[in-house]
A and B are shown apart, each in its own frame.
Chain A
Amino acid sequence: DAGVIQSPRHEVTEMGQEVTLRCKPISGHDYLFWYRQTMMRGLELLIYFNNNVPIDDSGMPEDRFSAKMPNASFSTLKIQPSEPRDSAVYFCASSFVNTEAFFGQGTRLTVV
């Protein structure tokens, strides 16, 4: 298996633009997680899905953030409109229940 695949690896966008981050989890994993990492706040759980259903989105910072998982092999995290304070590394991870989470390589987002 290729592991968790995220795209793009890097994204630079202007404030106010829509940003879409993509994730393909490891085949067979039934949990998918979106994290954001910054120097100030560390790794923050934004939202996670179980069998494509959002379970807990309490970490999503604002209504500008939305996440979907239309099928077992694909998820998106969208920010609209983007702001400079959204600049961070966004990680997607997947797992089976009660086992370790495997991370993608992350998307480094810069909003200017």
Chain B
Amino acid sequence: RKEVEQDPGPFNVPEGATVAFNCTYSNSASQSFFWYRQDCRKEPKLLMSVYSSGNEDGRFTAQLNRASQYISLLIRDSKLSDSATYLCVVNPNTGNQFYFGTGTSLTVIP
């Protein structure tokens, strides 16, 4: 079983829409969670960390559900510039390795 699983999409949404991505992880002892963003032909970059209490950064909200072992990312009022691949990342804390999901592709359409 993969450490991290994501729906690859693609998600095609109109500007202004709200879109949500989910990601499941296999190691219940995992402690650190992140969402990264990757633009075409670029390196992944941190979008936001995911805290147990949930956290919000402008239009972006990340949540963690430990009981069901999933994390989510909600994007409100989508902008064209949000078009990218969003990667779910889990650090299982058995070392310090970071396991990436395969990414979810988002295209925001004018």
Contact = CB atoms under 8 A, between A and B. Distances in A.
A42 B100 contact: yes
B64 to A, nearest CB: 15
B97 interface: yes
B45 A103 contact: yes
Q: How large is the interface on A (under 10, 10 to 19, 20 to 34, 35 or more residues)?
A: 20 to 34
Interface in A57-85: none
Which of B34, B95, B99, B101 has the most chain A CB atoms inside 10 A of its CB? B95
27 contacts: A31-B96, A33-B97, A35-B100, A42-B100, A43-B44, A43-B100, A43-B103, A48-B95, A48-B96, A48-B97, A50-B95, A55-B95, A55-B96, A55-B97, A56-B97, A91-B43, A91-B44, A93-B98, A95-B98, A100-B34, A100-B46, A101-B98, A102-B46, A103-B43, A103-B44, A105-B43, A106-B43
Given A42-B103, A48-B96, A95-B98, 15 more contacts: A33-B98, A42-B101, A42-B102, A43-B44, A43-B103, A45-B98, A45-B99, A48-B95, A48-B97, A91-B43, A93-B98, A98-B93, A100-B46, A100-B49, A101-B46
